[in-house]
Homo-oligomer: A and B are copies of this chain.
Amino acid sequence: MSSTEDHTYKFNVKMTCGGCSGAVERVLKKLEGVSSYEVSLEKQSAEVHSSTLDYETVLQKIKNTGKAVLSGEADGVGMGV
């Protein structure tokens, strides 16, 4: 992967209320290098677009929320969590 391409990272995150998903949103909003993101409580998902951040960096930030990350993928490829 080139670091200048836009990457899509998807995570399955265990969230049980709007406070949970709001917390993940706040973290992604503050994360420099994120071009866009979408957090869905209904889908239990966080999707992040970035051309500068690697998968591990985004994964770690989401893990820092204390939420359980059940699975992840980068540009459609399953990754470790």
Q: Is the Cβ of A64 less than 8 Å from the Cβ of B20?
A: no
Give the residue name and chain of the B residue nearest to A18 (CB): B16
- In whole angstroms, how far apart are the Cα atoms of A14 and B18 in the complex? 12
Q: Which of A21-56 contact B (CB under 8 A)?
A: 22-27
Most chain B CB inside 10 Å of its own CB: which residue of A22, A23, A27: A23
Task: Write the nearest CB–CB distance from A7 to chain B, whole angstroms.
Answer: 22
Bound complex: CA A26 to CA B64 (Å)? 9
In the bound complex, residues from chain B placing their C-beta under 8 Å from that of A26 are 66
**A61 cross-chain contacts in B, Cβ below 8 A:** 64
- Chain B nearest CB, measured from A20 CB (Å): 5
Question: In the complex, what distance in Å separates the CA atom of A18 from the CA atom of B19?
Answer: 10
